[in-house]
Structure 1
Amino acid sequence: MAVTQRRSRRIMMTDEERDAYLARQRTCRVATVGADGRPHVGALWFCWDGASLWLYSITRSLRWSQLRRDPRIAVVVDDGVEYGELRGVELSGDAVFVGEAPRTGEPCPELDAPERLFAAKYFGMETMPHDARHAWLRLTPDAVTSWDFNKLPGPPGA
């Protein structure tokens, strides 16, 4: 990743922990920037290939039109209920549109791996079903920050 996390290194996930965490989690929150500069945040399914986050978005969504105008994006994946259980990853950079939009299943070698990962994760299938409403966004992050409060010494909240 381009930027190394400086703050809170003691609670930072290792690369292996981060990859395993992102493989298990199902929902992320995606922030985009509107023409007026205001952020828009929405939940979305994703898959992580170890280098890029792949987002399968409706092409007629506000998110899609905002990214067409301004590709900057930030994504948070987090979980935990009690303070000592809080974990998460924030990724940011520029979104890239990959494949046809909307996606109908035309051959696109760059999408072979993410579509296999996504289909297995969400549908329990080997091949990706296409609905001609969604298409792919790839975020290869410029910056990644992670946290795992389980790594804090002492009692939770101390």
Structure 2
Amino acid sequence: MSRRDQIRMSPPEVRDFLTEQRVINVATMGPNGRPHLTPLWYVPKDGDGDDGVRIETWTYGKSQKVANLRRLAQATLLVESGKDYEELRGVSMETDVELIDDDDRALAIGADLMRRYTLGGPEAEIGEDFLEILRVQATKRTGLVFTPTKIISWDHSKLGGAY
């Protein structure tokens, strides 16, 4: 078995890793042909296909990344962790991107982000005051749904200290 095969995460391990982490780096193609890279909070979701994962987030509708995605609705995502070699873990995804301009759908993504990052989990209830704040924000936001076309993962802890 190759080293590459030894460190690859299974689809459930990928989903668990994405759930544990908090920041995803999103690379889109800028108007000058260079990558435009930005960190975002995100919500991992169950998806279709063998890998069974997709990523949802939102951002300002007038942002550079949205302008880039309107030209080319593709992105590469990276989530990584670890300091020392034997701790390195990560997931890189080439994705197709759906842009969500519908305020209600964007609001649903914003609510999921609030549950994950502010309220402690997907089952948390959002009070009417917070929901109203999110409604106002949703009118200025574009939802982003990233569906992987290719996933590459690594978990160096699987090598057991042997390099």
With the length of structure 1 as denominator, give the TM-score of the two structures: 0.81
How many Å separate the matches in 2 of 1:94 and 1:111? 21
Tell me, what secondary structure is at the counterpart of 1:92?
Answer: strand
Say if 2:81 is the partner of 1:86: no
CA contact (8 A) 1:119 1:126 kept: no
With the length of structure 2 as denominator, give the TM-score of the two structures: 0.78
CA contact (8 A) 1:74 1:91 kept: yes
Tell me the C-alpha RMSD between the 2 structures. 2.2
How many Å separate the matches in 2 of 1:135 and 1:126? 23
Structure 2 gap segments, 5+ residues each = 48-53
The count of aligned residue pairs is 144
The residue aligned with 2:157 is: 150
Trace 1:9-158 onto structure 2 (pairs within 5 A).
9-51=5-47, 52-100=54-102, 103=103, 106=104, 108=105, 112=108, 114-115=109-110, 117-124=112-119, 125-127=124-126, 129-130=134-135, 131=137, 132-155=139-162, 158=163
Structure 1 gap segments, 5+ residues each = 1-5
Identical amino acids, percent of aligned pairs: 29
Deviation at 1:53, TM superposition (A): 0.6
CA contact (8 A) 2:93 2:149 kept: yes
Q: Deviations over 1:48-99 (max 9, x none)?
A: 1122111211111110101011112000000111111110101112211124
CA contact (8 A) 1:84 1:150 kept: yes
Kindly provide the amino acid, as one letter, of the partner of residue 43 in structure 2. Answer: C
How many Å separate the matches in 2 of 1:117 and 1:20? 17
Deviation at 1:7, TM superposition (A): 7.5
CA contact (8 A) 1:99 1:111 kept: no
Q: As a proportion of its length, which structure holds more helix?
A: 2
